[in-house]
Structure 1
Amino acid sequence: MERDGGWARYWRDGARPLEAMHAHFFEHVYAPHSHDTYSFGITDVGAQSFRCRGAQHTSGAGMVMALNPDEVHDGRAAAELGYQYRIVHIGPSVVSGILRDAADTSAADGSTAATAEAAGPAGALPLFVRPVLTDPVLTDALARLHRALMGPASALAREELLTATVLRLAERGATRAPRTRSLAGEAGRRAARRAYALLNEAFLEPLSADDLAAAAGCSRFALYRAFRAEFGMAPSDHQRLLRLRRARGLLAGGLAPAEAAAAAGFADQAHFNRWFKRAYGITPGVYRRAAGS
């Protein structure tokens, strides 16, 4: 979408209040407005100025904006080159669901053997008192989530990044740290192995974090922690690795990279090419042509 000499691209989840935008504005001025969501933005280029909570604020490159639901604000360029920014809108129901899940003490064996890692009432909505935060950790977390939402990514990867980002924002920017719990000892290992088995069996299917948690018998967050501890990578990373292995076998059999990408469950060939090279150091085309060399 073109507007005021700039551009804007938008993504929206069709099932829950979760949206993302990437834009570069020069002359566009936002009228005073509010959202019924949490809104977290990163300024990439230039600077933007906005009025919120009775004061004027400026967000420059690398800074994070954190707006609570229903907070009235406006916005305009604060630099001659305008401003380019990324923003994610996350509904309170999504945030509270993630916080409840992270505090869930359900264990894979039906007990409540878990370890509390941070204080705070389960599911309590966080409050962000500073509209602008300077925190490279938050900037990186938001950028990774935004890329996953706006670009090709599996449902599993998006859910993992959404959970990690919400918790990181609450830990580092909110007035009260969230409570998180992890499965301990053998309960965690059993949960991880159950999810691992499901991934190995159904890695071509669009598995969700809820699917894996149900198979493991614990919360999504507890499974994520247990899986990383047991296998050294996130569930979505293992799913992608299995898809890369499938594609590698198809390439060796003579299938074209585009066909191998589609058959192995990748959203598009560019996404497949990028991850294949990151995993194996060569492009799919080079690997396919290497037969008999």
Structure 2
Amino acid sequence: MSPQSWIDLKQDAETGIETIRAHFVGHAYDPHWHDSYLVGYTEQGIQQFHCRRTIHSSTPGKAFTLEPGEIHDGYAIAPDGFTYSMLYLDAQWVERELRALFEEAPAHCQPGFTQTLTENPTLIVAIQRAFSVLQQPELRIVRQTTLDTLLGQLTTQLHWRARQGLDPRLPLVAQRARDYLHDHLDQDVGLDDLAAVSGVDRFRLTRAFKAAFGIAPHAYLVQLRLARARHLLARGATPADVAVALGFADQSHLGRWFLRAYGLTPALYRKRCSNLPDA
């Protein structure tokens, strides 16, 4: 991260929502995903990123919405960089609240976003107000009303898609390998292990996996571990303990990957989310 770049992060204790305001010059972060819904807007500059196999350019006046698991990166294409504000919305919280809004929501479906970028001034205002109310002490009724307004605006970007274990659009061998990684994310998994459960050689498996999920199996495993690391750190676990629990070689190994994906160190993330002293 360049010396001109900075990140301000805070986690709301009641909802678990993370508020992030950041400025990046040059490269911001490597391809990664979150297990949260990401909702935000670019304040200044041009924020360029890859997502859904497309290059997007977010500029002031555009809101961006990403679903859990969507791989994206980030970088500035102008010398003065870009600044953005974003909310990380817990996936279970979002689905529960949206089902309260949609009394006829289909039973075996989950909420998704119809597009990644949209020019929607009303949605941006709702994001701004939610960001503000989560950053300062406020009456619960005000906070809840503000978040309800945000959810209401998100419905303009919403569609319900079938929740299914196997996606017919993706190669079965890649889905088997993905499921194995989820079940063994803390173990020293090899390509031969994935090939064995998938029923193909490791070269065909790697090609199928990249075609299905956009990254190689080893990078997917790292992202799984990083997503889990965020949860553990936010609950107060030390970076050293998290590194051991998730199969990283050591704390420095975790730190290098975490910084590349999220733009801040595990220790700083833990401090911002848990308010605990440095460990």
CA apart distance, 1:164: 1.5
Separation in 2 of the partners of 1:158 and 1:123?
Answer: 30
**Contact kept? 1:6, 1:26, Cα under 8 Å:** yes
Separation in 1 of the partners of 2:90 and 2:108?
Answer: 13
* Structure 1 position 154 matched with structure 2 position 134: no
Separation in 2 of the partners of 1:18 and 1:74?
Answer: 21
Match of 1:175 in 2: 159
Give the paired residue count: 161
**Contact kept? 2:47, 2:76, Cα under 8 Å:** yes
1:37-116 aligned within 5 A: 37-103=36-102
Which secondary structure state, in structure 2, belongs to the residue aligned with residue 32 of structure 1? strand
Separation in 2 of the partners of 1:23 and 1:85?
Answer: 6
* Counterpart residue type for residue 53 of structure 1: R
1:195-210 aligned within 5 A: none
Which secondary structure state, in structure 1, belongs to the residue aligned with residue 34 of structure 2? coil
CA apart distance, 1:165: 0.5
**Contact kept? 2:2, 2:25, Cα under 8 Å:** no
CA apart distance, 1:156: 2.2
Separation in 2 of the partners of 1:66 and 1:103?
Answer: 19
**Which sections of structure 2, spanning at least 5 residues, go unmatched?**
162-279
Separation in 1 of the partners of 2:48 and 2:88?
Answer: 19
Which secondary structure state, in structure 2, belongs to the residue aligned with residue 80 of structure 1? coil
Separation in 1 of the partners of 2:50 and 2:97?
Answer: 30
Larger radius of gyration: 1
CA apart distance, 1:27: 3.0
Q: What is the TM-score with the length of structure 1 in the denominator? A: 0.51
Residues 135 and 39 from structure 1, CA distance in 2 versus in 1: closer, same or farther, beyond 3 angstroms? Answer: same
* Counterpart residue type for residue 175 of structure 1: H
Residues 100 and 123 from structure 1, CA distance in 2 versus in 1: closer, same or farther, beyond 3 angstroms? Answer: farther
1:190-269 aligned within 5 A: none
* Counterpart residue type for residue 167 of structure 1: G
Separation in 1 of the partners of 2:52 and 2:121?
Answer: 24
* Counterpart residue type for residue 85 of structure 1: Y
The one-character-per-residue Cα deviations of 1:172-217 (angstroms, maximum 9, x if unpaired) are 112359xxxxxxxxxxxxxxxxxxxxxxxxxxxxxxxxxxxxxxxx
Which secondary structure state, in structure 2, belongs to the residue aligned with residue 74 of structure 1? strand
* Counterpart residue type for residue 91 of structure 1: D
CA apart distance, 1:91: 1.1
Separation in 2 of the partners of 1:15 and 1:148?
Answer: 12
**Contact kept? 1:40, 1:66, Cα under 8 Å:** yes
* Counterpart residue type for residue 126 of structure 1: P
* Structure 1 position 139 matched with structure 2 position 139: no
Residues 23 and 134 from structure 1, CA distance in 2 versus in 1: closer, same or farther, beyond 3 angstroms? Answer: same
Match of 2:5 in 1: 6
Separation in 2 of the partners of 1:44 and 1:149?
Answer: 18
Separation in 2 of the partners of 1:136 and 1:103?
Answer: 23
List 4+ stretches of structure 1 deviating above 4 A.
none
Separation in 1 of the partners of 2:5 and 2:26?
Answer: 8
**Contact kept? 1:95, 1:125, Cα under 8 Å:** no
CA apart distance, 1:149: 1.2
Match of 2:21 in 1: 22
Query: Looking at both structures, which has the greater relative contact order when contacts are Cα pairs under 8 Å and sequence separation is at least 6?
Result: 2
**Contact kept? 2:35, 2:68, Cα under 8 Å:** yes
CA apart distance, 1:80: 2.2
Residues 139 and 13 from structure 1, CA distance in 2 versus in 1: closer, same or farther, beyond 3 angstroms? Answer: same
Identity %: 30
The one-character-per-residue Cα deviations of 1:71-97 (angstroms, maximum 9, x if unpaired) are 000001132221111000101111122
Separation in 2 of the partners of 1:123 and 1:44?
Answer: 37
